[in-house]
Amino acid sequence: MAADIANPSVSIQDLSLNFGAVSVLQTLNLDVAEGEFIVLLGPSGCGKSTLLNCIAGLLDISDGRIFIKGKNVTWEEPKDRGIGMVFQSYALYPQMTVEKNLSFGLRVAGVPKEEIAKRIARAAEILQIEPLLQRKPSALSGGQRQRVAIGRALVRDVDVFLFDEPLSNLDAKLRSELRVEIKLLHRRLQNTMIYVTHDQIEAMTLADRIAVMRGGVIQQLDAPQTIYNRPVNRFVAGFLGSPAMNFLKGELEAGAVPVFKADGVSVSLGRYQFDGDGGPAAKPCIFGIRPEHIAFGDAAQAMPFTAESTVEIVDPMGSDTLVWTKLGGQIISVRVEADKTLRNGDAIRIGFDPARASLFDAQTDNRL
């Protein structure tokens, strides 16, 4: 799992965390390169926030070691780890002005006044919060509050930024604005950033690498495109992508050209890239294809696999339309352009390239 990174900025080795009998994280390994933007992605309760709190030193771990900048910080206090943290609920001190909020950590550490002023000026300039410095957090909007919270991490002049679902409390519009700002911030500062989210769009757009987690275990750690195109198991495949990937149950038939067979459908897998070497054995499997990889109408004709079907339900989504139809007796969705006018019961032609599909073992859910 651990990638070979020569000088990792953050290195987590065999980390375990138990709350009583409940194991939250299990011998987890993760190396983060200098200046890398890592996103920890997963559903609620997968341990991603817990992992972040362990890195921050806010939770005592049960086993393993944590290195930041080559220094073993396993037993260090949060303030001595060289990290800054941004929380989902902003966690601004309500009785202090923005300026006092930003300077609190520095004042605690006894940094000289001129230095504090200098760092606040720099952070305020980067985040464009100069006009807000004398306000109390209660007089700020959600987006402004989160900017101040980022500023609080910024003034500490740290090596590693930790973000714990920082945009989850914002509305959709602000969320996409701040997402871009965080990306710009990363490009400007070139710091290592570890970012926890359950939002796959944030993960896809921000990350250099995504770590998809489930049940305290990292399922896949890779570049966003790789995770999107070649998910290692059915969980990762289903979690990433909206609308979700279609799954068809069926049988894999071995041969010179392996074939996927489901009720009345057979897909030749000659173009599919199997994991590992040697031909796959015949077994029950699940065929996954994303709605946006299924072509429709004339475009379908050019695809290696085509089929006739009828429209069951039409879901207009504005930018495009999701059409629900049947393939091999199982419901699948197809993404089509919004200008196509379709009605329930229309006969349509769909097609796809099996090279873009993902095949999973029905027993283990792992990619074939």
Partner 1 sequence: MADVASLSPGAEALRRGATGPSGPKPRHVLSRRNIFLYGTLIVVALYYLLPLYVMIVTSLKGMPEIRLGNIFSPPVEITFEPWVKAWATACTGLNCDGLSRGFWNSVRITVPSVILSIAIASVNGYALANWRFKGADTFFIILIVGAFIPYQVMIYPIVIILREIGIYGSLTGLVIVHSIFGMPILTLLFRNYFTSMPEELFRAARVDGAGFWGIYLRIMLPMSLPIFVVAIILQVTGIWNDFLFGVVYTRPDTYPMTVQLNNIVNSVQGVKEYNVNMAATILTGLVPLIVYFVSGKLFVRGIAAGAVKG
Over 32-86, what HEC string results?
ECCCCEEEEECCCCCCHHHHHHHHHCCCCCCEEEEEECCEECCCCCHHHCCEEEE
Q: Which of 170, 33, 13, 154 is nearest to 83 (CA)?
A: 154
| The binder of partner 1 chosen from 119, 145, 147, 152 (CB under 8 A) | 152
Do residues 36 and 192 touch, judged by C-beta distance below 8 A? yes
- Per-residue x/- mask for partner 1, residues 24 to 53, rule CB under 8 A? -----------------------------x
- Considering only the stretches 72-80, 124-132, 198-206, 226-234, report the one whose residues sit in contact with partner 1 under the rule CB under 8 A: 72-80
Residue 75 contacts partner 1 per CB under 8 A: no
Residue 22 contacts partner 1 per CB under 8 A: no
- Tell the smallest beta-carbon distance from residue 127 to partner 1 (Å): 17
In degrees and rounded to multiples of 5, residue 257 shows phi and psi of -120, 110
- Considering only the stretches 64-72, 73-81, 292-300, 318-326, report the one whose residues sit in contact with partner 1 under the rule CB under 8 A: 73-81
Q: Nearer to partner 1 by C-beta: 107 or 271?
A: 107
- Tell the smallest beta-carbon distance from residue 272 to partner 1 (Å): 46
In degrees and rounded to multiples of 5, residue 130 shows phi and psi of -55, -45
Residue 77 contacts partner 1 per CB under 8 A: yes
| The binder of partner 1 chosen from 2, 5, 33, 91 (CB under 8 A) | 91
| The binder of partner 1 chosen from 109, 254, 302, 317 (CB under 8 A) | 109
Q: Which of 122, 7, 10, 26 is nearest to 66 (CA)?
A: 10
- Tell the smallest beta-carbon distance from residue 79 to partner 1 (Å): 3
Residue 205 half-sphere exposure toward CB, CA atoms < 13 A = 15
318: left (phi over 0), alpha (psi -120 to 50) or beta: left
- Tell the smallest beta-carbon distance from residue 199 to partner 1 (Å): 19
- Tell the smallest beta-carbon distance from residue 34 to partner 1 (Å): 21
Q: Nearer to partner 1 by C-beta: 83 or 327?
A: 83
- Tell the smallest beta-carbon distance from residue 277 to partner 1 (Å): 48
Which helix (H) or strand (E) element contains residue 201?
helix 200-206
| The binder of partner 1 chosen from 15, 41, 83, 289 (CB under 8 A) | 83
Report the alpha-carbon distance of residue 244 to residue 310 in Å, rounded: 20
Residue 61 contacts partner 1 per CB under 8 A: no
Q: For residue 274, give every residue at least 6 positions away whose Cβ sits within 8 Å of its Cβ, in sequence order, or none.
A: 258, 280, 359, 368
Report the alpha-carbon distance of residue 42 to residue 211 in Å, rounded: 8
Residue 56 contacts partner 1 per CB under 8 A: yes
Residues at the contact surface with partner 1, assessed by CB under 8 A = 53, 56, 58, 77-79, 83-85, 87-95, 104-105, 108-109, 152, 156
